[in-house]
Amino acid sequence: MRSLPLPLALTARLSPVAVLACAGWALSCGPAAPPAAGHQTLRNPPVAASSAAPSATTAAPTYTTAPSPCAGVPAATLASLVPGAKPAGKEIPSTDTRLRRTCSWNALHGYDYRWLDVSFEIGESDQEATKEYEQRVAEKSGGGAVPGLGDTAYSVVGLATEDKQQTREGVVLVRVANALVVVTYSGSDFETRKAPTTDEINKGAIRAAKAAVATLGDGRG
């Protein structure tokens, strides 16, 4: 992404989605028992259904592709969270757009600067997405659960200061079946050199996450 001519450089940190392989089973049959005398038998008798090995079929994942991230936040919500930003946003290049897509919006409105990233990440299974979600929550201590959002959700807000300029950043992680939604929302005031309140950033990040989760249906299998 092209750097912005601002007093403070803000970057979004992204984590790849781990992908696990699936194992199969081998099926083998032993020889049939010798027939009793006086009875006609088949040379290759069929295997009874009850003696067949269990099926290796697993449930298909709920989501197979990542939806368009730049369509993940309605224009009205975006105008409120990132005043002055272009509604189209900018999609970040990805090595596999089927599994991972991210859109970014940022703008300086007067002296207020806001940055929003929305990312969709698709795992092969609910278990894989759960493992990734738990790892990320463990890396970002100090936050709390967000009830009623996805299967499980977590938000955390932090404050950073560089050259006496404050920046407050909120991160919301949401797991829905085998998909992760990651929202990063941050802001600074370059006139007062203060950051927006924790409440403003946290509520803004959660609002964007709710909108993004609503668009996940576009990636259903």
Q: How far apart (Å, rounded) are the C-alpha atoms in residues 153 and 145?
A: 6
Q: How far apart (Å, rounded) are the C-alpha atoms in residues 158 and 200?
A: 12
CA distances from 190 to 79, 113, 196 (A): 20, 8, 11
- For 20-33, give the DSSP string: ----------PPPP
Q: Sign of dihedral through CA atoms 183, 78, 86, 185?
A: negative
DSSP state of 52: S
Q: For the chain, what are the domain ranges?
A: 69-219
69-219, what's its fold?
Answer: Jelly Rolls (2.60.120)
pTM: 0.73
Backbone angles phi, psi at 115, to 5 degrees: -140, 130
pLDDT, residue 137, reads 97
Residue written as token pair 């027939």: 35
pLDDT, residue 206, reads 98
pLDDT tens for the chain, residues 1 to 221: 333 344 433 333 333 333 323 333 333 334 444 444 444 433 444 444 444 444 445 678 899 999 999 999 999 999 999 999 999 999 999 999 999 999 999 999 999 999 999 999 999 999 999 999 999 999 998 999 999 999 999 999 999 999 999 999 999 999 999 999 999 999 999 999 999 999 999 999 999 999 999 998 765 65
pLDDT, residue 38, reads 44
